[in-house]
Structure 1
Amino acid sequence: MEIRLLKYFVAIAEEGTVSKAAEVLHITQPTLSRQLRELETQLDTELFTRDKNRLRLTQAGLFLKSRATEILELSDRTEQEFQSQRRQLFSGHISIGCIEADNSDTMSLMLEEFIADYPEVTFNIYTGTSDEIVDRIDKGLLDLAILLEPINTDKYHKIILPRVERWGLLVSDESFLADSKTIKPDDLTGIPLIISGRSEVQSLLSNWANKPVEAMNVIGNFNLIFNVISLVERQVGSAIGIEGAPTYTSGTKFIPFEPTMKTNCVLAWRKERETSPVVREFIRYFREAFEKC
């Protein structure tokens, strides 16, 4: 006898009608009626009689309800005990690297869910540039990280996160560009630019603009855009960055590039390096959430 059928039977017995039980169980009334007939056929016994607009348990139905309630309580308690035991089996520490991007909150959401399931696990989050984080992964100081493409991940396993990062220009609210809906390559002509020092990002920008970075009016470089926000506010220069970076302030405005320049973030961890059970479980959470997207 299936647990599912017992749950259906108890719901009907408690609600008194098939229609109300179907609402509680979130299934259709014909489906529930069919399941009840199937149960009565299996037992070769009538479980209910109709009394006006309600169903009343027969003697056999009363006996089954008593046993079914015990069975369902035992089933629920056993499942809860296994879940509790599974959580207790996992304790340990995760060291995570994360760049400043719109996908930063993806890591936070996944970590929140993971810690709720495994409260014995502790964690450390390191924020930096992709290059800094990669160096720490290579040295074994981080277990895994969320990195922003373009970046060479040949040495790493990776899961591509579905939320795309859109690139553009961060300008002051007082800039003459602030009313622009998009920024095109020609719009950068003569504009003092502050750009990432990463060669991969500079190549990405060069391909988009169809000219070398050396031909642009680059007045400075940065590793974390947080360091140049105040310069953008004071119109010392405009910064190349991604939309949704958490450090942008109300005194600045992000304007996307046209044609669109987009890249992905990835969850990455070293190949040929043994990971702990806790880290493997955390990676599994990401796989289940994103690899089928």
Structure 2
Amino acid sequence: MEIRMLRYFLAVAQEQSISKAAQTLHITQPTLSRQIKGLEASLDTDLFTRKKGKMVLTESGLFLKKRAEDILYLNDKTEKEFNDDKQELLSGHISVGCVEADNSDTLALMLEEFVAEHNQVTFSIFSGTSDDIVDRLDKGLLDLAILLEPISTDKYHKLVLPRREKWGLMVSSQSYLARKESIDVEELVGIPLLCSGREDVQNMIKSWNALQGKNLNIVGTYNLIFNVFSLVENRVGSALTIEGAMANRDTSNVKFLPIVPELTTNCVLVWKKNTLLPLSVNKLVEKFLQAFQA
């Protein structure tokens, strides 16, 4: 159980509200809600009940609250004792590339915490395709990047992020397919498809067992998913994509159908080998490693 999760839990317990706790923690409400649900799932118990609009601790929640307060007290006390008042203030600028994916939220969460801990550090995020991001990484224009597999990472150090990206089909809400809740991989044959222009992704799709030896009807390719929303809405084709790429966009006229059997890929954090990273970048990499390295 991470220290960060305990801080989130205690903030909700104190405020009795996800929205107020999120403001206190300087993170988004959906992010905090997801973290609390994840904590309850990992403990296999409900920590809160909702009464009259307030988040009220259950018996399990009260037990965890006492333990969390003790753990955080010892953690903060130990950090304070080891802190050197003469330590040089961490500063600098970090440039990060990130694909459209569910793990974009992971990056945002880590940066929120990192900047809160080191308020002299600034950052910039470049969003684009994996190819665009790799090009900028190779040129030294980016320090780190979050990429979607499949992608060659021979030139980079790599950390596989734990949240897997789910593949599916984005369809028009007016399509007959919108009546479905999922789509069998075999059903992709014959459907007019819009697909990523990346060769690695196209080869991955063709390698799916149920599609081997079959020809897909790919009517168009794209680099970023927002370019094809209107094409999907107007039923030019349905887009093969990961669910996370549709996050924070207007999906009122489209629907995501997860592919069954479930098909997922990983996102990876990468940074160049044989390159001396600035101290601030090294510290952020260490934070990722501490949080997600097995």
TM-based fold match above 0.5? yes
Q: CA deviation at 1:82?
A: 3.3
**Distance in 1, Cα, partners of 2:159 & 2:250:** 27
Larger Rg over CA atoms: 1
Q: Which residue of structure 2 aligns with residue 200 of structure 1?
A: 200
Q: Are residues 1:188 and 2:188 paired? A: yes
Report the counterpart of residue 34 of structure 2 in structure 1. Answer: none
Which of 265, 274, 285 does residue 283 from structure 1 map onto? 285
Q: Which segment drifts farther, 174-183 or 234-243?
A: 174-183
Counterpart residue identity of residue 256, structure 2? F
- 2:171 and 2:257 map into 1 onto residues whose CA distance is 8
Tell me the amino acid that sits aligned with residue 264 of structure 1: N
RMSD, aligned CA: 2.5
Deviates more, 1:88-97 or 1:246-255: 246-255
Kept in 1: contact 2:167–2:241 (CA 8 A): yes
> Structure 2: where are the runs of 5+ without partners?
1-62, 68-75
Amino acid at match of 1:211: Q
Cα gap change, 1:212/1:271 in structure 2, threshold over 3 Å: closer, same or farther? farther
Tell me if structure 2 keeps the 8 A contact 1:229–1:248. no
Q: Following TM superposition, by how much is the alpha carbon of 1:193 offset from its aligned partner in structure 2, in angstroms?
A: 0.6
Map of 1:213-252 to 2, 5 A cutoff? 215-245=215-245, 246=247, 247=249, 249-252=251-254
Q: Secondary structure at the match of 2:244?
A: coil
Counting aligned pairs with the same residue, the percent is 53
Partner of 2:60: none
> Residue in 2 aligned with 1:211?
212
Q: Which residue, out of 269, 281, 284, partners 1:267?
A: 269
Report the secondary structure of 1:121's partner residue: strand
- Tell me the number of residue pairs that the alignment of Structure 1 and Structure 2 aligns: 220
Residue 127 of structure 1: how far off its partner (Å): 0.2
Where does residue 253 of structure 1 map in the other structure? 255
Q: Which amino acid aligns with 1:109?
A: L
Q: Which runs of 4+ in 1 moved over 2 A?
A: 78-86, 209-213
AA matched with 2:91:
S
TM-score computed with the length of structure 2 as normaliser = 0.70
Name the SS for the 1:244 alignment partner. Answer: helix
1:173 aligns with 2:173: yes
Q: Summarize the Cα distance change of 1:212–1:202 in structure 2 as closer, same or farther, 3 Å threshold.
A: farther
Residues 186 and 211, structure 2, Cα contact 8 Å, conserved in 1: no
The gaps in structure 1 that reach 5 residues or longer are: 1-22, 28-74
Aligned to 1:107: 107
Q: TM-score, normalised by structure 1?
A: 0.70
Task: Call closer, same or farther: CA 1:187–1:115 in 2, change over 3 Å.
Answer: same
